[in-house]
Every structure is written in structure tokens, then in C-alpha cells.
Amino acid sequence: MYVSEDPVFRQKEVLFPDYIPDHLPHREKEIKAVSSMINSALKNHSQIANIFIYGPPRTGKTASVKFIFRKLKEGANAFTVYINCFRVNTRMGALYTIIFEFIRKVKPTRRIPSRRGVAYDELYDLLVSELKKTKAFPIICFDEIDHLLPRGSEVLYDLSRLKEEAIPALLIMVTNDQFVFMNVDPRIKSSLRPVEEIPYRAYTLEEMREIIRMRIEFAFQKGVVDDEAVEYLAEVATEIGR
Ligand SMILES: Nc1ncnc2c1ncn2[C@@H]1O[C@H](COP(=O)(O)OP(=O)(O)OP(=O)(O)O)[C@@H](O)[C@H]1O
Ligand SMILES: [Mg+2]
């Protein structure tokens, strides 16, 4: 049977906001740095540094973390939690997300606790006891962390306190604002240490051109988007990242 090809799209999914490509050009160095920090933390629980990623909008911060999480082998040893603090901006919401992901990925047979009528402390104790029992290592990304601070910042302190219980955990904090922790309670700030900083710089026009060209090549049939449009998109996108 003859199946007619879509005249416009090759792979429409490539244009969806959640799409993460198999390769992120010009972010290899940053991805390698974050991955190796995660790997060394997984190998040596006594040397865990949290990670702070900052940089202008549209520079691949979210894409990199999701890319790294996708490659990571999850299971009984380690599990990842991605929290978009724009959506989840309270300590209760963050803690609940962590427990939810723990159950989904590490202990699917366990019943998910109800959100209603449960106290924060009760939920925290549940997380501590489950992590102790299973020895699963949570790697938690707080993306757009500026939206969590200061309202939900206590959860960062509580998660840093896990090490007092000999429970390993690694936090990845992502934001546009390099100085986001400036007004945060010093007690919370110091509990997060040590922190490794990974700055993301804006793409140059040339880099942006390549990134956009690649995306268009995957998404559209040949000839649908012309070079002039690519050039225009690259210029606009570079401007946003500045
Ligand atoms: N190096 C890259 N290669 C391919 N696509 C990329 C690259 N960097 C970014 N992108 C794409 O550009 C878009 C914006 O990237 P992303 O959302 O990761 O930026 P961000 O730094 O998290 O921005 P913000 O600070 O606004 O949250 C996404 O669609 C992402 O897949
Ligand atoms: Mg982002």
C-alpha cells in the first residue's frame, strides 16, 4: 500500500515544548560536568556536592538536566525527581513530588499517601524512613528555583538534613538568577554546601543557527523552511538569550 508522506512535517514531536533532542550541541561540556558530579556522588556518598546551574533564558539549562536524567540508570540505587518550581512552589508540594516519584520509581507496590490531611512533618518522616529502608539515592532537580524561594525554601534545608541521617541525596538547583540565594536565610544557604556552580552562557549567533538548523532538519521536510527563516529565527533566539 502506498503511504503518502506528510508534505510539511518529518517529525512533528520535535517541535513540542517537552521534546529533548538526542544531542545538545554546544552544551557537551556542561552536560559532562554535571554528569560526572552525579556519578562521583553515586560512587562516593561521603563526597556529595549539590549543583547550582544558572544562566540566561533559553540556554539549554532545562534541556540539559532532562537529557542527563533520561540517560541516568534509575532503579533501586538512584532515582531522579524533576520539580518545576513555577508549578510546584511550596515545601509541601516539593516534598510530595519527591515521595510520589520515589513510590513510582522505587517502590511501585507502596500506596501513595493522600495529600489531604497529612502534615508536612509526617510526610518528611515517611521519606526518611523509606529512604533508609531502600537505600535509594534521590537526585532532585529544582528547576526555576526562584519561584520556590523564599516561600518553600525550608524544604531545601530539610533535604540537606538527610545527611545527618546518613541518607545520601543530591540537589540540582536551576535558575536565571545567579544571585537568587542572596536573600535566603543563611542557615538554609549553609546547609546546602558544598555547592558546585555551572554557569550557562548565552549561545552565539553561529551556535544558535546550528541548533535551530538541526531542529528544523528533524522536524520538517526538506525545503519547507528556507535559510532566510532559519537566519531570522537564530537572530531572534540569540537576542532572547542575551
Ligand atoms: N544545545 C541545544 N541543542 C538543541 N536544542 C537546544 C539546545 N539548547 C536549548 N535547546 C532547546 O531550546 C529550548 C530552550 O531551552 P531550555 O528550555 O533548556 O532553556 P533554559 O535555559 O531552561 O531556559 P529558561 O531559563 O527560560 O528556563 C528548548 O526547546 C531546548 O530543547
Ligand atoms: Mg528552563
Which residue range(s) make up the domain with 19?
1-26+204-242
Q: Whose C-alpha lies nearest to ligand 1, atom 13?
A: 58
Least confident of 2-6, 62-66, 151-155: 2-6
Position 144 scores a pLDDT of 98
pLDDT at 200 over 60: yes
Alpha-carbon distance of 102 to 99, in angstroms, equals 5
Contact assessment for residue 57 and residue 201, using Cβ atoms and an 8 Å cutoff: no
Between vectors from CA 170 to CA 63 and to CA 26, what angle results, nearest 5°?
A: 30
Same domain for 19 and 33, yes or no, is no
In the chain, what percentage of residues exceed pLDDT 90?
74
Q: Is the dihedral angle over the CA atoms 52, 80, 240, 20 positive or is it negative?
A: positive
Same domain for 75 and 34, yes or no, is yes
Q: What pTM, to 2 d.p., does this model score? A: 0.93
Mean residue pLDDT across the chain: 92
Q: Which of 199, 216, 231 is the last residue of a domain?
A: 199
pLDDT at 118 over 80: yes
Same domain for 120 and 220, yes or no, is no
- List the CATH number of the domain containing 21: 1.10.8.60
Instruction: Give the residue-averaged pLDDT of 117-128.
Output: 94
Same domain for 240 and 126, yes or no, is no
Q: What is the pLDDT of residues 16-61, one digit of tens each?
A: 888 999 999 999 999 999 999 999 999 999 989 999 999 999 999 9
Structural domains of the chain, count: 2
Same domain for 19 and 85, yes or no, is no
**Which of 136, 146, 170 minimizes the C-alpha distance to 38?**
170
CA–centroid distance, 62 to ligand 2, in Å, is 4
Same domain for 45 and 160, yes or no, is yes
Instruction: Give the residue-averaged pLDDT of 136-155.
Output: 94
pLDDT at 3 over 80: no
165: exposed, middle or buried (Cβ count in 10 Å: 0-12, 13-18, 19+) = exposed
**Residue of 20, 58, 213 to mutate, ligand 1, most atoms within 8 A of C-beta:** 58
Position 239 scores a pLDDT of 83
- List the CATH number of the domain containing 191: 3.40.50.300
Q: What is the pLDDT of residues 162-183, one digit of tens each?
A: 999 999 999 999 999 999 999 8
Position 241 scores a pLDDT of 66
Q: Which of 165, 180, 199 is the last residue of a domain?
A: 199
Same domain for 76 and 180, yes or no, is yes
Same domain for 192 and 209, yes or no, is no
Same domain for 105 and 167, yes or no, is yes
CA distances for 141 relative to 93, 132, 152, 180, angstroms:
14, 21, 14, 16
Alpha-carbon distance of 100 to 129, in angstroms, equals 15
Same domain for 42 and 160, yes or no, is yes
58 alpha carbon, closest ligand: 1
Position 151 scores a pLDDT of 84
Q: What is the pLDDT of residues 70-98, one digit of tens each?
A: 999 887 789 999 999 999 999 999 999 99
pLDDT band at 157 (very low <50, low <70, confident <90, very high): very high
Same domain for 137 and 48, yes or no, is yes
Nearest ligand 1 atom to the CA of 20 is 31
Same domain for 70 and 163, yes or no, is yes
